Amino acid sequence: MTGSAAPARRAASHSMPSTPSSRFQIAVVGGGIVGKACALLLAQQGMQVALVAPRPVGETARTGEDDWDSRIYAFSASSQQLLERLRVWEALDPARVQPVRDMRVFGDVSAAEASPSPHGDLHFSAYAAAVPQLAWIIESSHVERVLDTALRFQHQVQWFDEAADGFERDLDGVTLTLASGARVRANCVVGADGARSWVRQQCHIGTSQRRYRQLGVVANFACELPHQETAWQWFLGAPEKLMADEELANGEIVAMLPLPGNRVSMVWSADEAHAQDLVALSPEALAATVAQVANGAVGARFGALRCLTPAKGFPLVLQRAEQFVQPHVALVGDAAHVVHPLAGQGMNLGLRDVTELGRVMADKEPFRSEGDLRLLRRYERARATDLLSLTAATDGLHRLFSLPGAPARLIRNAGMRAVGGQGLLKRFLIGRALG
C-alpha cells in the first residue's frame, strides 16, 4: 500500500451500521491529521471509535512533478514514531517525503553590525547531533490520504461522513446529533476540530488569544540549485513603515523548507498589508520577490525560482483553551492550542497530544469510564509543560524580533550568536525540535 495509490475518498461506513443510537467509547470530531491519527490510535488500542468529520470533496492524489500541496508540515521524530506505530509511515510514498539534515537560522543583522556566518547565527546539523535527520517535510494531503486508507481497514472505527450540530451531555457521556439526524453516543468526545473548534464552543470553554496582525503566506517553488536538504529561516525585523510604532511593529520571518527534488516550500510570516500584496502578485513576480530575499541572504543560494502553487495566506494567532478537558470531553491539536509557525511545531504538538491521550487511555483503570474527569486530567497535566515551553519560545522570539531600533537589533543578534556557540544549549534545542 502506497500513499500515491490511495483510493479516492468515498462515503463508505465500516463494519458497524450507521444507526440513530450508535454507542461508542470515543467519538473524535475533526477530520484533519490530528483527528484521524487520534481515531486510529485509540481504535488500535481496542476501543470502539466514531470519527465524525465530513470527507473533503474533489481532492485527488498528487503525483505530478509540479503538483505539490502548499500545505506542508515538518514532522519531528516523535511524530514519525507515532505514524510508524499506526503503520502509516511505511505507506507514505518516499518520493513525497523530504528529510531535513541541516537547519540554518539568520537574525536581522546588517552588514555594518557584524559579519554574519555563512552557516547562520544558529546552525543545527543532524550529523553533529548524531541523528539521521532533524525532521521530515511532507504534504498535508499526502499524509491524510494514507491515514484515510488505514482507517478504511480499521473496523473498530466507524466514519460518519457529516458534521455534528447537536451536543448533549449528561452524567454518563455525550450524545452528538448529526446533520442527518443520526445520534452518536460516546463515553468521551475528543475535539480535534481546529482553532475554531465546535466542540470547544459547545462546552463553553474560553480561549486566551493574541493576534499577531500577520498572515502566514505559503507557496511552493522549483529552484535552480539544490537545496542541500537544508531548512533556512531569516528574521527580517518589522517593515520600515511600522518600525516607529511599537504597537504595530511585527518582525517578519521567512522560512524556506526543502521538498523532494529541487523544490522548496516558503512560509513568509508577513504584516497583514504586506501579506496581501504578496498574495496578489503574479506567479512570476512572487518568484522574483522570494528569490531576491532568499538569494540575498548569506549562505543561501537557490538560483532562479519558479512558482509551483499560488500563494495563500492564513492569519497567525497565539491561542490557548482555558481548559483542555471537561467531564467526557478532551481537546487535542489546534482545538486546544495554536502557536506561531516560526518553529514549525504546531502539528507536532497536536500529535504529541494524541500520543499522550492514547497513553492515558491505555493505562486507564478498568473501573473508570473513558470520560472520567480524573482520567482526562492526567492528560491535561501531562501536556502542560511541553505546551508552555514551546509557546514561551515561539512567542518570545517573535516579540524579541519585533522590537524596533538598532540597540534591540544588536542585543538579539548577539544573543543568537551566543546560543549558536553553546554546544549544550544547542543540543537541548535540537532535542526539543526532535520532540
Let me know if residue 276 belongs to a domain.
yes
What is the domain extent for residue 377? Answer: 3-60+141-208+320-393
Residues 61 and 51: their CA atoms lie apart, in Å, by 22
Within 161-206, strands assigned E span 164-170, 173-178, 183-191
The answer to whether the beta carbons of residues 336 and 353 sit under 8 Å apart is yes
Residues 212 and 117: their CA atoms lie apart, in Å, by 30
Helix (H, G, I), strand (E, B) or coil at 398: helix
pLDDT of residue 53: 96
Tell me the pLDDT tens digit for each residue of 407-428.
655 655 555 555 555 454 445 5
pLDDT of residue 17: 42
> Do 239 and 289 belong to one domain?
yes
The answer to whether the beta carbons of residues 290 and 147 sit under 8 Å apart is no
> Do 230 and 311 belong to one domain?
yes
pLDDT of residue 418: 54
Beta-carbon contacts of 142 under 8 Å, excluding residues fewer than 6 positions away, are 3, 4, 61, 62, 69, 92, 93, 96
DSSP H helical ranges for 299-422: 346-362, 373-400, 406-420
The answer to whether the beta carbons of residues 417 and 121 sit under 8 Å apart is yes
Let me know if residue 100 belongs to a domain.
yes
Let me know if residue 66 belongs to a domain.
no
Tally of domains in the chain: 2
Let me know if residue 383 belongs to a domain.
yes
> Do 243 and 378 belong to one domain?
no
pLDDT of residue 278: 96
Residues 3 and 414: their CA atoms lie apart, in Å, by 45
> Do 37 and 162 belong to one domain?
yes
pLDDT of residue 234: 86
DSSP classification of residue 421: T
Helix (H, G, I), strand (E, B) or coil at 23: strand
Residues of the chain with pLDDT under 70: 1-21, 57-66, 108-121, 237-250, 297-300, 395-435
The answer to whether the beta carbons of residues 210 and 317 sit under 8 Å apart is yes
The enclosing domain of 23 has a CATH number of 3.50.50.60
The answer to whether the beta carbons of residues 134 and 434 sit under 8 Å apart is yes
Helix (H, G, I), strand (E, B) or coil at 392: helix
> Do 294 and 364 belong to one domain?
no
> Do 165 and 118 belong to one domain?
no
> Do 85 and 39 belong to one domain?
no
pLDDT of residue 6: 37
pLDDT of residue 186: 98
Helix (H, G, I), strand (E, B) or coil at 269: strand
pLDDT of residue 412: 58
> Do 129 and 223 belong to one domain?
yes
CA angle 168, 169, 173 (to 5 degrees): 120
> Do 173 and 298 belong to one domain?
no
| pTM of this structure | 0.85
Beta-carbon contacts of 366 under 8 Å, excluding residues fewer than 6 positions away, are none
> Do 204 and 79 belong to one domain?
no
